[in-house]
Structures are given as structure tokens and as C-alpha cells.
Amino acid sequence: MSTLEHGPVTLRYETRGDGPPVLLLAPGGLRNSRLETWGNAPWNPIDALADRYRVVAMDQRNTGTSFAPITADDGWPDYAADQLAVMDHLGVERFSVLGMCIGGAFIMRLLGDAPDRVAAAVVLQPIGHVDNRDVFRGIFEEWRASIAGEHPEAGDDDWEGCWFNLFGGDELLWSVPDTMLPTIDTPMLVLRGDDQYHPHQASETLAAEVPTARLIERWKDPADQPAARAAIDAFLATHAT
């Protein structure tokens, strides 16, 4: 494990393997988007990809051992800046990215802020906004309660500003305007979500609106996993640089 000091932010990351770089953005929401969470996923890309790719995995800010101050200005661009800082530190200009759950929102923000740096994107069950803001409010409050003791600098206005910047808007994918989707030209593979955190509408709309996207509907059940993994392997073999 390695640590990067990025301004006032401390980021923990790990690299494994050799080959075209692939940045992994873990599931687990604001509280648990960290390296170890991949071990609980239906498919662990760290283990699956490190024999062919230079895999970069990280703890997002204020998860695991990564840390950042909480301010009223915090939002999706800050997460993207953290991720780009890790890749800059590693000397990687262009990379593919694979993310699950909140990792889908992170991917979309990277495509909005630094589209030329992303060679290809694999988006597994992205979070989405479909009559579920209260669910995300609950997740946010759990995250706040779990780390508030580490953030004496943050007052109620800071937490509320952070909440609004992340989940206060009406965007389907939370992190970017819906109008951005048809403008994306990065090759994309979308694996469909199907619950209140990862509503199927988010995956389906993403795959339908992005001209370069393809949707895989079934991938979680053991019977479907081999075909889904083969599709991811073929996609990255074609597009990862």
C-alpha cells in the first residue's frame, strides 16, 4: 500500500500488475468505497485483471485510511481531482476505468472533467436518482456519523453543503448533467443494476444515451458471471491502452 499527499488530502492506493493502466473505483458508497470492498463484490477486478493490466485501486477520501477536510464546497469534482492526482503521481496520462455502485458516479465525473484521459469505461450497477433521494440521505447521514469525530473543522453548514453538492440535484446519475450523456464518445460497457441504490433506469438510460455504450443485463448470478467476465475481458482487450 502507498500513500499520496495531495494538498490537504491523504490518499491511500495500491498498484498491482503490469500492462495498460486500469483505475478501479470501488463500490460501498461514501463510507466504504475503498480497496477492501472489492472483496465483497460479485467479481473482484483486482485479482481478475492484475495478470494483464496495471491495476490501480484506492480508498476514496474519508474512507479507509484516506482523509480530506469536509467543507461546504465538497462535491463530485473533488473526488475526480483525487483520482486524477493518483494517476498523475504514477505518471499515467491515459487509462481505462472500472467502477461499481458509487464508482459509476465517479466515472461519469471523470468523463465530464477529463474525457481525453479515459480510454474506456466499465460501469457496473451505477447509483442513480429515481425516487430515492431519502435513501441517499440516509446513507449520507450514516457516513457523517461514522467520521464526524475526525472532522472538528466541519460545522453543520459544511455537511449540508457537501450533501447538496453530491445528492441535492436532479441528475439521473447524480454527478453529471443528463444532457452530457449523448456527447460522450468514450467506449463504455454498462452492467445493469436492479435495486433502490442502483435503479435499473440509471443503467439502461446510460447505455441508451451514450452512443458508444453497450448494456449487459445479467451478470450477478453465478450462472451469468462467466459470460459477463468474458465480455469485460474482451472489452478491455479491445479498448484499454
130-180 pLDDT tens trace: 999 999 999 999 999 999 999 999 999 999 999 999 999 999 999 999 999
DSSP state of 56: E
For residue 230, pLDDT over 90 is answered with: yes
133-147 helix and 156-167 helix, angle to the nearest 10 degrees? 140
CA distance 1 to 12: 7
Express as a percent the part of the chain with pLDDT over 70. 100
Neighbours of 211 (CB within 10 A): 11
Q: Name the pLDDT band for 54 (thresholds 50, 70, 90).
A: very high
pLDDT in tens, 60-87: 999 999 999 999 999 999 999 999 999 9
CA angle 204, 205, 209 (to 5 degrees): 125
* Phi, psi of 68, rounded to the nearest 5 degrees: -150, 145
Q: What is the pLDDT of residue 85?
A: 98
Cβ burial of 9 (10 Å; 0-12, 13-18, 19+) is middle
187: helix, strand or coil: coil
Structural domain harbouring 173: 2-239
Q: What is the pLDDT of residue 43?
A: 84
Q: Name the pLDDT band for 1 (thresholds 50, 70, 90).
A: confident
Q: What is the pLDDT of residue 42?
A: 83
Kindly state the average pLDDT of the residues 120-124.
Answer: 99
The tally of domains found in the chain comes to 1
The answer, as to whether pTM is greater than 0.75, is yes
Neighbours of 195 (CB within 10 A): 10
Q: In this structure, what CATH number is given to the domain that contains residue 89?
A: 3.40.50.1820
